Amino acid sequence: MPPPSPTISVAVLGCGLIGESWSALFLAHGLDVAAWDPDGAVLAALPERVERLLGQLRALGTATTVPGRLSIAPTVAAAVAGAGWIQENAPEKTVVKHSLYAEVEAAAAADAVIASSTSSLTWTDLAAGVVRRDRLVTAHPFNPPHLMPLVELFAADARALARAQTFYRGLGRATVVLKKDAVGRIANRLASALWREAVNIVAEGIADVADVDAALVHGPGLRWSVIGAHMAYHLGGGPGGIAHYLDHLGPSQERRWATLGSPSLTPEVRQLLIDGIAQEASGRSVATLEAERDHGLILTLAARRNAKQGVDA
């Protein structure tokens, strides 16, 4: 199995928010995309939706001047027939994905990789429905994948894993590798742990939803967009680094861990969150908030490119 070449073509199976975003990323890097979705209306709307996302990538300067070609495939078999890479974004139901994999395996080339974007299922869950497990990879992106660099990878086969690293890095993605197949992987486990305490702070009446979000965006979130949590504590240890930090502040961290909350999403807590978001959104629709998020992400990613060019220069 050679690494996929720049002229590889990609099948995108499932063209909701994740599939359309992947499609834009692939096309922006000059790869041809054959897209399939069980919903004809989704497929009909796809070219226009993808074009909007491609515009964001052009603005960011990450799109090639000649994008790949987008074709709409009438069947799964037609989508995967000529594909070297198959990106599956079907609903998060094992039975749906297994059924789809049977169609894929009947029609795909022998060396095509099947990469699942699954968020809530594990590789092991999916492998139960695949014959050629050596070419099954979980490649979990962070939404929206055309902007967020992270892709979390797991595969049982070392060559499939290596191919996945090569493929996504070629698309400018930041890949991380799981050492074992774990529910929630890394990013969603971290996000879930943080949100539990964010909910607890609201439930305990320590601060409002909007202030919790503002503290995150202007404090730890900003920091974690530049350095990771482990590295932050390494710097927090001064010249002695993480060892000094653990010696001097490890016990106080363990004491704080013991004071963190274990909230439940009771009707009362649920209402606090809904009311708090309404206050924070201040009349802005989800679509407007999404557009603001994407605008902020694009500016931050552009700043990162400048940082990287500064380092490379």
Nearest 5 degrees, angle CA 159-CA 162-CA 163?
A: 85
Beta carbons within 10 angstroms of residue 300's beta carbon: 13
Give the tokens for residue 261. 């909350």
Q: Per CB under 8 A, does 195 bind a copy of itself?
A: yes
- Nearest distance from C-beta of residue 73 to a copy of itself, angstroms: 26
CB of 189 to a copy of itself, least distance (A): 5
Nearest approach, Cβ of residue 292 and a copy of itself (Å): 8
Q: Nearer Cβ to a copy of itself, position 102 or 243?
A: 243
For the chain, how long is the longest CA-to-CA vector?
A: 63
Asked if residue 248 binds a copy of itself (CB under 8 A), the reply is no
Give the whole-angstrom CA distance, residue 54 versus residue 222: 26
59 forms part of the interface with a copy of itself (CB under 8 A): no
273 part of the interface to a copy of itself, by CB under 8 A: yes
Contact between 161 and a copy of itself (CB under 8 A)? no
Residues in Cβ contact with 191 at an 8 Å cutoff, skipping those fewer than 6 apart: none
Of 59, 102, 128, 277, the one binding a copy of itself (CB under 8 A) is 277
Distance CA 32, CA 48 (A): 16
Phi-psi region at 17: left, alpha or beta (left = phi > 0; alpha = psi -120 to 50): alpha
For a copy of itself, the binding residues in 85-124 under the rule CB under 8 A are 120
Q: Which of 6, 111, 226, 248 binds a copy of itself (CB under 8 A)?
A: 226
**Residue 186 phi, psi (nearest 5):** -95, -60
Among 191, 203, 282, 312, binds a copy of itself (CB under 8 A): 191
- In whole angstroms, how close is the CB of 300 to a copy of itself at the nearest point? 5
